[in-house]
Amino acid sequence: MNETKNYVDILENTLKMKVEVLKKLNKIEFEKDMVDEDSMDSIDKYLDEKEELIKNLETLDEGFETTYEYAKDEINNNKDLYKEKIISMQNYIKEITDITVQLRIKEANMKESFDLFCKGKKDQVKKFNKGTKTALSYYKNMTDVHKDEDSYFFNSKG
């Protein structure tokens, strides 16, 4: 029973830590909105930070699931004994859900912005390639017009 109390404390602390990590993730999502989208360095930094936080969330989730497996029967059989902790965990879970919904909305908006950004870059590359092909074609045609034996100053009127 004392062991189960320790497990319940661990579960509660894990949820609390998950809330903190999600808040950090939400904060960097907000900061990303403030960054110039043309800066690939800032995008890379943002993605690295986000990846690290997501790894932390996965570790917390795995730990929570493992710990819950050890304690779930005792908790379910003695709900009155752990009522206060269960309510606290339910509040953390509600907060986690709220933050997750906010993050999903931001992710959807960010994906839309990123798609537009990529489309703009793709169009720039297409224009550049088209201009390069046109210039190359022009220079090729111009070099084919002149033959070495012909003079530029030769009048071909008979």
Non-local CB neighbours of 135 within 8 Å, separated by 6+ positions: none
Proportion of the chain above pLDDT 90, given as a percent: 42
- Residue 92 CA to chain centroid, in angstroms? 24
pTM above 0.75, yes or no: no
Return the domain boundaries, the chain: 2-113
CB 23 within 8 A of CB 83: no
Residues 56-100: pLDDT tens digits? 999 999 999 999 998 999 999 999 999 999 999 999 999 999 999
Tens-digit pLDDT profile for residues 11-27: 999 999 999 999 999 88
In this prediction, what percent of the chain has a pLDDT beyond 70?
82
Most confident of 36-45, 67-76, 112-121, 141-150: 67-76
d(CA 51, CA 24): 12
More confident site: 96 or 136: 96
